[in-house]
Amino acid sequence: MRGFRTSRPARASRASRFDALLRPHLRSLYRVAYRYTGKREDAEDLVQDLLTKLYPRTDELESVEDLEPWLLRSLYNAFIDRVRKQQRSPRTVDHHDAEAASVVDVHQDVSRMEQRAALDSAIAGLTPEHRAVVMLHLVEGYPLPELAAMLQVQIGTLKSRLHRAKRQLRAALDPVEPNPPRERVREHEL
Amino acid sequence: MNCNRLRAELTERGLGSVAERHRDHLDGCELCRLWLEDRRLIQALATPVPEPSPGFEDRAIRRAVSASPRRLRQPAAAAAAVLALAASLAAWLAGHGPDRPGAADPVLAVAPRVINVVIDTKDHRQDALLTIELAEDLELEGYAGQHLIEWRADLAKGRHLLALPVRMKTGVGGEIRIALTHGGSTPTRVRIPVGAG
C-alpha cells in the first residue's frame, strides 16, 4: 500500500477553500467598495487588496460564523487605510465612473450637472468614516444598529457622523425653499 | 395637506413634482422640508453601480492566491546576481511520503500533488507577471480545465515559495512551463516535467 492511501479524506487546498469562502461575497463587497470609492477600477482594487490580505488568513475565515458582516468590516477598514494613504500623497478625486455619470447626466441640463459636480465634490470632501455611514445607511439601506455592530462603532457616533455628513452634502443640493417664488411675486404685485 | 399625504404623494409622483399645495405645507413644516431634502439627497447619491469588469471574481481570487507566496524562513543559499527563478520538483501529498501516483491506479492518478516553485528575487518586483502553462493532462486544483494561468503579484526581495497543487487527469502527465516577467524584461523560464514515471 502506498503511503498516501488513507481513509481520511484529503483536505481541499487553501486556494480552493478560500475560493469557496469568498466567491459568494465578492459582488456585495464590490458593490459596497463602489459606494465607497465611486469608481469601478478603485472598487475592484479595494476588493483585491482585501482579498490579498485575507488569503493567508483562510483558516481564520473558516471559523467566522457570519462571514459577510465580518468581510464588510474588513472592507471598511481597508477603505479607511487606503484613504489615509492617499491623503499622504494628494491627488485629484474624480468621484464617479464615466459609465455611471453618463447614465445620470445624459438627459440633464447644465444646472443639474453642476449640482452633480458639487455633490461629487462634497462627497469627496467627506472623511472616509462619514462617507461610509452615508453610503451604507442612506444608499444601501443598512439600519444603523446593524452598522454599529458591523463596523464596531457606537451607534451615537454613527448618528453624529450621519448628521454632519448630511449637512455637508445638503449644502451641495438646492435647498427646499421655505419661501416660494410665488410669494415674492405677490409682494411685487402689491 | 398633512405630512403623511405630502410624503406619500411626492414619493409616488417623484420628488420634483412639488405643486402649490405641497408648497403651502412645506412653508410651515420644517420636518417635511428636511424629509424632502433627505429624499433628494439619497436619490442623488444612489447612482447606478456599474458591473465589475469581466472576469473580476476569478481574477481577484487568483491574484489573492498568487500574491501571497509563503516566504522561506531559511536564508538564500547564495545571493542572486539577477532575478533568478529556480524551480524544484517535489511531488508529495501533504503529510505523506514522496510518492508519485501511477497511471495504473485511478485513485492515485487523480490525487493532487504539490509542486513547489522557489522564486528568488534580488530586489522588490512590483507587478510581476507569473505565467503557468500546463500540459493537457495537468490542471491546478481550483482551476479545472485551465491550461494557461496568469497571476500578477508584488514580489518582495528574497525567496518565495509558490506551492502549486497539481492534478493529473489521467496519469499521463506532461510538462508545466512557468515564466516570470517583470516590466519589459526577458521572461525567466523553467520547465517542470510531471509524470507517472
Contacts of residue B90 in chain A, CB cutoff 8 Å?
A: none
b vs e for A143-172, b when ≥16 Cβ sit within 10 Å of the residue's Cβ? ebeebbebbebeeeebeebbeebbeebbeb
Per-residue pLDDT band for A102 (boundaries 50, 70, 90) equals very low
Separation of alpha carbons B195 and B103, rounded Å: 9
Contacts of residue A169 in chain B, CB cutoff 8 Å?
A: 41, 45
Can you point out the beta strands (E) in chain A? none
Contacts of residue B45 in chain A, CB cutoff 8 Å?
A: 119, 123, 134-135, 138-139, 169
pLDDT in tens, B116-140: 777 777 777 777 788 888 888 888 8
**B184: phi then psi, degrees, rounded to nearest 5:** -100, 15
- How many residue contacts between A and B have a Cβ separation below 8 Å? 136
Residue of A3, A31, A115 lying closest to B99 (CB–CB): A3
pLDDT at residue A98 is higher than 90: no
ipTM of the complex: 0.72
Separation in Å, CA A57 to CA A50, A51, A61: 11, 10, 6
Separation of alpha carbons A104 and A98, rounded Å: 10
Residue of A2, A44, A180 lying closest to B52 (CB–CB): A44
Nearest to A135 by CA among A58, A31, A8, A21: A31
Is B27 in Cβ contact with A179 (below 8 Å)? yes
Is A40 in Cβ contact with B141 (below 8 Å)? no
Burial of B51 (C-beta count, 10 Å sphere; 0-12/13-18/19+): exposed
Is B67 in Cβ contact with A52 (below 8 Å)? yes
Per-residue pLDDT band for A147 (boundaries 50, 70, 90) equals very high
Residue of B56, B61, B99 lying closest to A2 (CB–CB): B99
Amino acid at A165: A
Q: What is the pLDDT of residue B166?
A: 82
pLDDT in tens, B156-195: 777 777 777 788 877 778 888 888 887 777 778 888 888 7
pLDDT in tens, A48-79: 999 999 999 999 999 998 899 999 999 999 99
- CA–CA min distance A13, chain B (Å): 7
Q: What is the pLDDT of residue B143?
A: 75
Strand partners, B128: B153
Per-residue pLDDT band for B18 (boundaries 50, 70, 90) equals confident
Q: What is the pLDDT of residue A108?
A: 46
B161 interfacial to chain A (CB closer than 8 Å): no
**Residues B131 and B149 sit within 8 Å (Cβ to Cβ):** yes
**Residues A5 and B108 sit within 8 Å (Cβ to Cβ):** yes
B116 interfacial to chain A (CB closer than 8 Å): no
DSSP symbol at A24: G
pLDDT at residue A94 is higher than 70: no
**Residues B151 and B67 sit within 8 Å (Cβ to Cβ):** yes
- CA–CA min distance B38, chain A (Å): 8
Per-residue pLDDT band for B89 (boundaries 50, 70, 90) equals very low
- Within 23-82 of B, beta carbons closer than 8 Å to A belong to 23, 26-27, 30, 33, 36-38, 40-42, 44-50, 52-53, 56-57, 60-61, 63-65, 67-68
Average pLDDT across chain B, whole number:
72
Integer-rounded Cα Rg, in Å, for chain B is 29
Neighbours of A27 (CB within 10 A): 15
Contacts of residue B101 in chain A, CB cutoff 8 Å?
A: 4
Q: What is the pLDDT of residue B13?
A: 84
**Residues B178 and B190 sit within 8 Å (Cβ to Cβ):** yes
Per-residue pLDDT band for B39 (boundaries 50, 70, 90) equals confident
